[in-house]
Amino acid sequence: MLDAGMADHINMERLHAVIRGDVQGVGFRYFVLRKAHQLGLRGWVRNNDDGTVELVAEGARQDLEQLKRAVGEGPRMARVDRVDTRWQSATGNLDGFDLAG
């Protein structure tokens, strides 16, 4: 029998995305943070040294797809050139959604 913590992530997925373009210094991480909170996702978002923004999010596939669409557009001041994504099974080891690094 699974405990509640393990059962939480059985039907969940994990989205790992790296967003390329003019995505730093334009409020992109806070845009992702707000959207992830609205969707009830768990994970993190951070700026990378190479000018990209990276995120890991876990939740229901439909909610992750909404987040993926949102980061493809970005906030008003950003320019998104490309979003590289990788889908995996959720690990269930993330709490809330926050800024990392």
Annotation says 47 is catalytic: yes
Q: For the chain, how are helix, strand and coil distributed in percent, rounded to 5?
A: 30, 35, 35
- Beta strands per DSSP E along 1-101: 13-22, 42-47, 53-59, 79-89, 97-99
29 annotated active-site: yes
Phi then psi for residue 59, to 5 deg, are 170, -165
The catalytic position among 14, 29, 46, 69 is 29
Catalytic option among 47, 48, 69, 79: 47
The residues assigned a catalytic role are: 29, 47
